[in-house]
Structure formats: C-alpha cells, structure tokens
C-alpha cells in the first residue's frame, strides 16, 4: 500500500485531479456509485 501522504505528493507532482471519498479500504464496495461517477467523469474529460 502507498502511504496517503506519498500518494498525494505524487499526484501533486503530476498535477493530477484527485477525488477523495470517505470510504473503507475498498471504495468500490462501500461507495460504488461515487467511484463509478469519478471514473465516468475522468473518461468524459479525457475524451475531450
């Protein structure tokens, strides 16, 4: 597992858009709609 602070630093370094959700260890199970929404938004943004 990547430490959250390191993950945030790496994302900042590449100017990534970060989505944070209050979830358990497996966000796909605890917040499936929000995870799907983030993936869909990224796909729409990427296709432009």
Residue 40 lies in a domain: yes
Residue 13 lies in a domain: no
pTM over 0.75: no
Residue 45 lies in a domain: yes
Give me the number of domains the chain comprises. 1
List alpha helices for the chain, DSSP H: 4-13, 27-30, 32-47
Residue 27 lies in a domain: yes
Whether 38 and 19 have beta carbons less than 8 Å apart is answered as: yes
Residue 33 lies in a domain: yes
Domain ranges, residue 31: 19-48
Confidence of residue 7 (pLDDT cuts 50, 70, 90): very high
Residue 15 has pLDDT above 80, yes or no: yes
Confidence of residue 45 (pLDDT cuts 50, 70, 90): confident
């Amino acid at each position: 597992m990547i430490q959250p602070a390191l993950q945030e630093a790496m994302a900042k370094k590449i100017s990534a858009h970060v989505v944070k959700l209050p979830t358990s260890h497996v966000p796909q199970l605890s917040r499936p709609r929000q995870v799907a929404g983030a993936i869909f938004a990224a796909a729409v943004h990427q296709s432009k």
